[in-house]
Amino acid sequence: MASTTAARRRPRAWLRIAFAMFAVGWGANQFSPMLIVYRHELTLTAGEVAGLFLVYALTLIPGLLVGGPASDRFGRRPVVWPFVALSPLATLLLVLGPRSVAAIAVGRALAGLCSGVVFGAATAWVQDVSPDEGPGKGLSARRSALALTAGFGLGPVVAAVLAQWAGDPLVVPYLPHLVIGIAAAAVLARTPEGPAERLARPRLARSRMAGRRWPPAAIRTRRFWLAVAPASPLVFGSVALAIVVLPEEVTSARTLSAGFAGLMTALSFAAGVAVQPFARRLRDMLAGAVAGLGCAAAGAAVGIAAVAAAGRVLAGVAAVLLGLAYGLCLVSGLRQAEHMASPDERGAVIACYYAMAYTGFAVPYLAAGLGAVAGKSGAFVALTAIITALALWTAGYAASLRRAARVPEGDAIVRWSPGNCNSMSR
C-alpha cells in the first residue's frame, strides 16, 4: 500500500524511463541510414555492410536474455542505468573511428548490448511504476512502445538528414545522440523504483531463483507459442523491409540515398506511432496482431510493384503499411507478454518477447536469399505469401479462442489464470 501511494505521488516516473528508452532507441537505430553512407564512403562490400548490420543483433539478443532476468532479481535501476550511460559511449566510438571498420563494429556491438539490456528491463520498469493500470490493459505497453518507436524513428531521420546535407557525413549525424544519451543517463539516475521492484531484492530473489525454471512460466505456455510467437518477428521484420530493403532496391546509391532512407524511416515509424492508441484500445489483444500481420502482408504486396518499377512513391506507400504493422504487432505483443507474466518474472518474459521480435532483423537476409533464387520482385512475392499464411493462422487461432470463451463454464473450458495462458485474454 505504501509503495502504491509513493508511486501516486510521483505519477510521471514513467516519463524518465521512457526518455531513457527513447535515447537508447535513438542510438540503436541512427545507424540504419548510415549503412548506405559507409558503403560508398569506405567502399565496403555488401558482405561487410551486412556484417555491420548483423553485429548489433548478435549482442542485442544475449543482452535481452540476460538483462530481463537480472532486473527481476537485482532490481530495474541497478541493471538499466549503467547501460543507458554506456549507450552514448557506443556512439562516441563511431565518432572517434569514422573510417575504421573495427571501431564501427565495436560501437555497434556495444549499442546492441545496451539496447538488449535496456529494452526488456525498462519496459518492465514502466509497468512497475504504473501500479493503477495493471498488466494487459495497454497503457504501459503503449508508453513503452511509443518511447521506443519515437527513438527508432527520429534517430535515423535526423542522422539521414545530417548525412545527406551536413558536413562530414561520418561524424555529424551521431552528435545529437551524444547529447540526448548523456541527458537520459542523468535523468534516470534518481528515478524511483516501482512497487514490484521490491519483490526482486537479492536476498528474496535468491530463494526464488533456486527453484525457478528457465524459460519463465509464461513462455512455456501453449498460448505464447500459438498466439504471440507467430507475429513477433514481424515487429521489426516489417520496419527492416521498409528502412533497409526497399531504399536499397528503389534508389540510386548516388542520388539522395541517405535522404530517401530517412524519409522511408519517417513514414514507417510515424505510421507506427499513429496506430498505437488504436492498438491499445482493442479489447481483444490478438486482434492487434491479426491486423498488424494483415498490414505487413499488404505492405509486402505493394513492395512487389515498388521493386519491379523502382517506384519511390509505391515504396513510400509500402513503408506506411509496414509501419502500421510494426505498431499493431508491438503493442499487441507487449500487452500479451505483460498480461501473462507474474510480477517477479516480468522482465524475463518481456525480454524473451523482444528477443523473438528482434529475429525480424533477419528479414533483409531472408529477402536477399529469396532474391538470389527468385529475383528481387520474386523475393517480395514469397515474403507476401509467408506473412499472409501467418496472418491466416493467427486469425484462425483467435477465432477458436473466441468460440471457446463463449462456452459456459460448466462445459469444462479452462479460464485464464496466471498459470494458464491458453484462453482468450481481454
Specify whether the CB–CB gap between 277 and 317 falls below 8 A.
no
Specify whether the CB–CB gap between 30 and 158 falls below 8 A.
yes
* Total residue count of the chain as it appears in this document: 426
Q: What is the pLDDT of residue 252?
A: 59
Specify whether the CB–CB gap between 188 and 194 falls below 8 A.
no
CA distances from 66 to 7, 173, 350, 361 (A): 27, 31, 12, 20
Q: What is the pLDDT of residue 386?
A: 95
User: How far from the centroid of its chain's Cα atoms is residue 401's Cα?
Assistant: 27
- 140-144 contacts at long range (C-beta below 8 A, 24 or more positions apart): 140/14, 140/338, 141/280, 141/331, 141/334, 141/335, 141/338, 142/276, 142/277, 142/279, 142/280, 142/331, 143/14, 143/18, 144/18, 144/21, 144/334
Q: What is the pLDDT of residue 120?
A: 87
Peptide bond into 215 cis (omega under 30): yes
Domain boundaries, the chain: 8-189+214-411
DSSP one-letter code for 190: T
CA distances from 370 to 236, 365, 381 (A): 19, 9, 10
> For 356, what's the count of Cα atoms within 13 Å in the CB-facing half-sphere?
19
The pTM of the whole model exceeds 0.75: yes
Q: What is the pLDDT of residue 263?
A: 85
The rounded average pLDDT for each run of 10 residues, N- to C-terminus, in the chain (426 residues) is 44 85 93 83 76 84 89 89 96 93 93 93 85 56 83 89 86 95 92 58 45 73 88 92 85 63 86 87 84 96 92 93 94 87 81 89 85 88 95 91 66 39 40
The H or E element that residue 241 is part of is none
| Mean model confidence pLDDT for the chain | 82
Q: What fold does the segment set 8-189+214-411 form as a domain? A: Growth Hormone; Chain: A; (1.20.1250)
Q: How far apart are CA 119 and CA 117, in angstroms?
A: 6
Q: What is the pLDDT of residue 139?
A: 67
Specify whether the CB–CB gap between 216 and 345 falls below 8 A.
yes
Amino acid at 257: S
